[in-house]
A and B are shown apart, each in its own frame.
Chain A
Amino acid sequence: MTTTYTTLSFELNDAIGHLQLSQPPSNEMTLDFFSELAQITNEMRSMSEMKALVISGKGRHFSSGAKLAELIPLAMVGKSGTAALSGNEIENFLDRNNRSFLFFENLEIPVISAIRGVCLGSALEIALFSHFRFCGEDAVFGLPETTFHLIPGIGGISRITSLSGVANALEIILRGNTFPADDALKMNIVDLIVPKREVVQRAIEFVKNLPADYRKEKSRLYLQRYKNEMYCSS
């Protein structure tokens, strides 16, 4: 890898890619982050040696989500006649982010988000586009966009609705409140709660043991097998 990244880090060890959101403490998703994310997904296209991808946040948190203060000005239409700041700017920006998220979702290798601490807004959206989600017992989730009079805009609404059902999704999105790991598990938003210090390690262990003919359509089956093994070995 030749590119130097400042808002994220990427390592490929033992065929496992590890993408870290890397602007601690909150790993806020800045405009720079989203450009670097698009860049790294491009680089990943040629990494045929990568057999699985783990996404996590550096330090105590996954991420607090997009930086609203940067995002809103992008939406200012016709501000003092500047044609460059058209309504399309934010749309293009979001489309690109959406493409990055879809890239993860469409990968044919397993993609897992390993979540510690806060995972809010667009950070939860990126996790929802992963094939699996493991979290620590301290994890906190939420889609707070509507409290700022916005909505999740990078596919979060559609993905959380299919995972947790209309009733849960509606309450999460419209209330905009945060909820703990237990609730996320009950609502099918995370797949497994593990001790917080082991989240990344457990995610790596899990993807390493997935079969070579991995297919994301079988994700439920793989999880069930993994849970059975855990149960038998404990």
Chain B
Amino acid sequence: MSTWINKDYFNWSVREEIGILSLNNTPENYFETPEFIPLDLLKNFIGTDQLKGMVICGVGRHFSAGAKLDSLYELSADADVLKTKMGRGQDLLSYIENLDIPVIAAIRGICFGGGLELALASHIRICSTNALFAFPEISHGMMPGLGGTWRSLQLSRFPDVLKMILSGDIVNAEEALEMNLVDKITTADPIEEAFLLLKKMTIDKPLKVIHSVMQAMRNSKTLPPDEALKEETRLFCELAADVAKRRNSGSAAGNE
């Protein structure tokens, strides 16, 4: 069923252990379907390359204007089809959010609707000074449907989110920073900035350390507090045992 999703809608590349997923449906990089990249394909990309991080960005001037209304209306004709498709979109965003490697959304230009929901599912958002954010769904009698409401409430204050979703108003980079919707604004190319930050965060670090940090952070949101703390300690102990082992064999081979 998902075979009709053409690879022409995205590019995938790997640079120094960092995966770069570019939405490629220029100029606005619309999603032709909520699952804008087949989940299995993305899993495949990330798994086979032992990546340490991922950048998500858009080809050209914009990040993404989200779902294309025409195709959404087409899907809506059959409620079950729409539900299935939206479910797949949700699964894709949850997969990205729960990845064991850091994911940065690098945002230029327009970041609307589903595009914003994708950015919110990433762990860090870096945008250019000309970036624009909005949930325009309301002007078509709809609302965010891929977790945008929930995820923006994790970052911003309730009144700000309410206003943004109900008004459909466009928020600029400064305002988005103020609202915590983005984490950094850069005058340079956000894709390059995201790549460099991921390099700084992951260079010289074993994959296991990166995975452990991601896991502990995820636990702090999903597990009861005591269990999250226990898990953190358990993960630490595993890593400490590795360090101890390395030091041991190092000193055995070395001077003492």
Cβ 8 A contact of A161, one of B197, B217, B247? B217
Q: Identify whether the interface residues of B are mostly helix, strand, loop, or mixed.
A: helix
Whether a CB of chain A sits under 8 angstroms from the CB of B213 is yes
Residue of A whose beta carbon sits closest to that of B182: A167
The size bracket of the interface on A is 35 or more
- Taking a contact as CB atoms under 8 Å apart, the answer to whether B236 and A153 are in contact is yes
Whether a CB of chain B sits under 8 angstroms from the CB of A79 is yes
Whether a CB of chain A sits under 8 angstroms from the CB of B169 is no
Cβ 8 A contact of B248, one of A71, A79, A173? A79
Taken together as a complex, chains A and B put the C-alpha atoms of A63 and B118 apart, in Å, by 40
Taken together as a complex, chains A and B put the C-alpha atoms of A167 and B180 apart, in Å, by 10
Whether a CB of chain A sits under 8 angstroms from the CB of B201 is yes
Q: A87-B237, A152-B232, A174-B213 are in contact. List 19 more A-B contacts (CB 8 A).
A: A77-B245, A94-B233, A149-B239, A151-B209, A151-B232, A151-B239, A154-B233, A156-B232, A157-B216, A157-B232, A161-B217, A165-B180, A170-B124, A170-B214, A170-B217, A173-B213, A173-B217, A174-B102, A174-B201
Whether a CB of chain A sits under 8 angstroms from the CB of B240 is yes
Q: Which residues of B contact A156 (CB under 8 A)?
A: 232
- Taking a contact as CB atoms under 8 Å apart, the answer to whether B102 and A151 are in contact is no
Whole-angstrom distance from the CB of A109 to the nearest CB of chain B?
20
Residue of B whose beta carbon sits closest to that of A102: B229
Query: Provided the pairs A87-B241, A174-B201 are in contact, do residues A158 and B220 lie with their beta carbons within 8 angstroms?
Result: yes
Taken together as a complex, chains A and B put the C-alpha atoms of A152 and B229 apart, in Å, by 11
Residue of B whose beta carbon sits closest to that of A168: B183
- Taking a contact as CB atoms under 8 Å apart, the answer to whether B102 and A170 are in contact is yes
**Cross-chain pairs A/B with CB under 8 angstroms, 20 sampled:** A71-B240, A75-B244, A77-B244, A90-B237, A147-B204, A149-B242, A150-B209, A151-B213, A151-B216, A151-B232, A151-B236, A151-B239, A153-B236, A161-B220, A167-B123, A167-B183, A170-B217, A171-B197, A174-B210, A174-B213
- Taking a contact as CB atoms under 8 Å apart, the answer to whether B213 and A158 are in contact is no
Cβ 8 A contact of B237, one of A91, A146, A157, A158? A91
Residue of B102, B197, B200, B213 most packed against chain A (CB within 10 A): B213
Residue of B whose beta carbon sits closest to that of A154: B233
- Taking a contact as CB atoms under 8 Å apart, the answer to whether B201 and A171 are in contact is yes
- Taking a contact as CB atoms under 8 Å apart, the answer to whether B232 and A72 are in contact is no
Query: Provided the pairs A171-B197, A175-B200 are in contact, do residues A166 and B244 lie with their beta carbons within 8 angstroms?
Result: no
Whole-angstrom distance from the CB of A156 to the nearest CB of chain B?
8
Q: What is the 8 Å Cβ interface bit string for chain A, positions 73-104, against chain B (1 contact, 0 not)? A: 11111010000000100110011001000100
Taken together as a complex, chains A and B put the C-alpha atoms of A170 and B213 apart, in Å, by 8
Interface residues in B175-230 by Cβ distance below 8 A to A read 180, 183, 197, 200-202, 204-206, 209-210, 212-214, 216-217, 219-221, 225, 228-230
Whole-angstrom distance from the CB of A103 to the nearest CB of chain B?
13
Taken together as a complex, chains A and B put the C-alpha atoms of A155 and B124 apart, in Å, by 22
Residue of B whose beta carbon sits closest to that of A166: B123
Residue of B228, B229, B234, B242 most packed against chain A (CB within 10 A): B229
Whether a CB of chain A sits under 8 angstroms from the CB of B41 is no
Query: Provided the pairs A72-B243, A72-B247, A158-B228 are in contact, do residues A153 and B217 lie with their beta carbons within 8 angstroms?
Result: no
- Taking a contact as CB atoms under 8 Å apart, the answer to whether A91 and B234 are in contact is yes
Cβ 8 A contact of B233, one of A91, A147, A165, A171? A91
Q: Which residues of A contact B210 (CB under 8 A)?
A: 174
Whole-angstrom distance from the CB of B152 to the nearest CB of chain A?
13
